[in-house]
Amino acid sequence: MNSKISKILTIIVAVISVLGIALFVNVSFTDGSPESVSSAVGPLIAFSLYLFYAAVIITIGLSIRGLVKNPENLKKTLLGLGVMVVLLIVSYLLGDSEPVLNAQGKVLEGGELGAASNQWVGSLIWYSTILVLIGGIFFVVDLAKGLIKS
């Protein structure tokens, strides 16, 4: 059964690869004018987007299937998502909604004091910072454990 699935997947990957190569060659052989480049790049971008959407859907589907099959992992995943939500709330509280200024010191359009986009940008910067700090701490701890074991 696995060898049959493996053969089918190999054929699918080969077809996708040949299509991608053909679209790339199509872009490579344009005469350089904006119209020809645009008409050649469009199908390549559409193909790439379809592949991206397929990859996302397959990944989410297989992840959900794996979580449903293993309830213990579901509990861990929900706990992890809960921690991420708490970190997002903390980041939102730390973020500010100060006005966004240009180089001349004038407020940019849409960047007024209290704008929701300003609040979310500040919050996501804090969120990223907190996650990097947590990741760095785990990296150093793991590195120290490895050095101690050796």
| Residues in a beta bridge with 118 | none
Is residue 91 classed exposed, middle or buried when 0-12, 13-18 and 19+ CB atoms within 10 A define those classes?
A: buried
Rounded to 5 degrees, φ, ψ at 80 are -60, -40
Residue 43 domain boundaries: 1-69
Q: What percent of the chain has pLDDT over 90?
A: 55
Residues 124 and 145 in one domain: yes
pLDDT of residue 119: 84
Residues 9 and 50 in one domain: yes
Residues 107 and 143 in one domain: yes
Q: What is the largest CA-CA distance in the chain?
A: 67
Query: Could you read off the pLDDT of 5-52 as tens digits, one per residue?
Result: 899 999 999 999 999 999 999 888 888 788 888 888 999 999 999 999
pLDDT of residue 114: 66
Residues 100 and 114 in one domain: yes
Residues 33 and 79 in one domain: no
What does the block give as tokens for 31? 């005469």
pLDDT of residue 122: 86
